[in-house]
Amino acid sequence: MALLEIKDLEVRYGRIKAVEEISVDVDASEIVVLIGANGAGKTTTMRAVSGLLAARTGSITFKGEDVTRLKGHQRVRKGISLVPEGRGIFPGMTVRENLDMGTYALQGKNPESEYDRVFELFPRLKEREKQMGGTMSGGEQQMLAIGRALMANPEVLLLDEPSMGLAPQFIRQIFAIIREINAQGTTVLLVEQNANQALAIADRACVLEAGRLTKTGTGRELLEDSTIRDVYLGG
Partner 1 sequence: MSSDWISFDFGALIDSFWATTFDGLTLGAIYALVALGYTLVYGVLNLINFAHSEVFIAGAFAVVFFLSALGFGPSAPTLPIGMLILDLVLAGIIAMVVSGGTAVLVERIAYKPLRNRGASRLAFLISAIGMSFVLQYIFYEWRGATAEPAVTMFRPKPIFEVFGSIIDSQQLTIFIAAVVMMVCVDQIVQRTKLGRGIRAVAQDPDTATLMGVNKERIIVATFAIGGFLAGAAALFYVMRVPSGVFYMGGFILGIKAFTAAVLGGIGNVRGALLGGLLVGLIGNYGATILGDSQWTDVVIFIVLILVLMIRPNGILGSNLGEARV
Q: Which stretch binds partner 1 (CB under 8 A): 54-62, 148-156, 187-195, 203-211?
A: 148-156
Q: Which residue from 50, 142, 153, 163 is in contact with partner 1, where contact means CB under 8 A?
A: 50
Angle, helix 112-121 to helix 95-102, in steps of 10 degrees: 130
Distance CA 230, CA 92 (A): 43
Q: Does 42 bind partner 1 (CB under 8 A)?
A: no
Residue 72 found at the interface with partner 1 (CB under 8 A): yes
Near partner 1 in 84-103, by CB under 8 A: 84, 88-93, 97, 100-102
Least distance to partner 1 from the beta carbon of 48, Å?
A: 13
Greatest Cα-to-Cα distance within the chain, rounded to the nearest angstrom: 52
Instruction: Pick from 134, 180, 183, 218 the residue near partner 1 by CB under 8 A.
Output: 134
Report if residue 194 touches partner 1, rule: CB under 8 A: no
Burial 121-160 (b: 16+ CB within 10 A, else e): bbeebeebeeebbeebeebbbbbbbbbbbbbbbbbbbbbb
Of residues 71, 120, 167, 218, which one binds partner 1 by CB under 8 A?
Answer: 71
Enumerate binding residues for partner 1 (CB under 8 A): 50-52, 71-74, 76-77, 81-82, 84, 88-93, 97, 100-102, 104-105, 132, 134, 148-149, 152
